[in-house]
Amino acid sequence: MPTVIICDDALFMRAALRKMLEELGFTVVAEAKNGKEAIDYYRTFQPTVVTMDITMPGISGLETLNRLKEEFPDAAVVMVSALGQQKTLQQAIEFGAKDFVTKPFQIHQLKNVFHSYLSE
């Protein structure tokens, strides 16, 4: 069963992602409210994929992505962004993000982005 770490500073977004990803067949191994927690949890769980909010206090999602990819080059990270962050999303893809989901989203959009992790 594929595993996931959800990283978002908003509790309601972590809860929404958890519900949808569990419906898709993922096991949520951790929920991080900031980049530092996400890196620490990644070291512990080494999940199939990480969802990463772009805008967070402290370490941004882009910086967290950079740090994760430095330590774990094979880490699969899907960025989660608000509308209007296209330039930042392009940067994230250049930094090694596998894909992105734009808020607000529906479960079918998540399924389209995460389908490759479900078939592994």
Q: What is the pLDDT of residue 119?
A: 62
Return the HEC string of 17-41: HHHHHHHCCCEEEEEECCHHHHHHH
CATH number, domain with residue 91? 3.40.50.2300
What is the mean pLDDT of the segment spanning 74-97? 88
Number of domains composing the chain:
1
Strands (E), 8-116: 27-32, 49-53, 77-82, 99-103
The boundaries of the domain holding residue 99 are 3-114
Of 19, 54, 48, the closest CA to residue 34 belongs to 54
Enter the pTM of the model: 0.94
Q: Are 31 and 52 in contact (CB under 8 A)?
A: no
Inside any domain, residue 119: no
Dihedral sign from CA coordinates of 114, 24, 75, 1: negative
Q: Rounded to an integer, what distance in angstroms lies between the CA atom of residue 49 and that of residue 63? A: 17
Inside any domain, residue 48: yes
pLDDT in tens, 37-61: 999 999 999 999 999 999 898 999 9
Q: What is the pLDDT of residue 47?
A: 98
Q: Rounded to an integer, what distance in angstroms lies between the CA atom of residue 15 and that of residue 83? A: 20
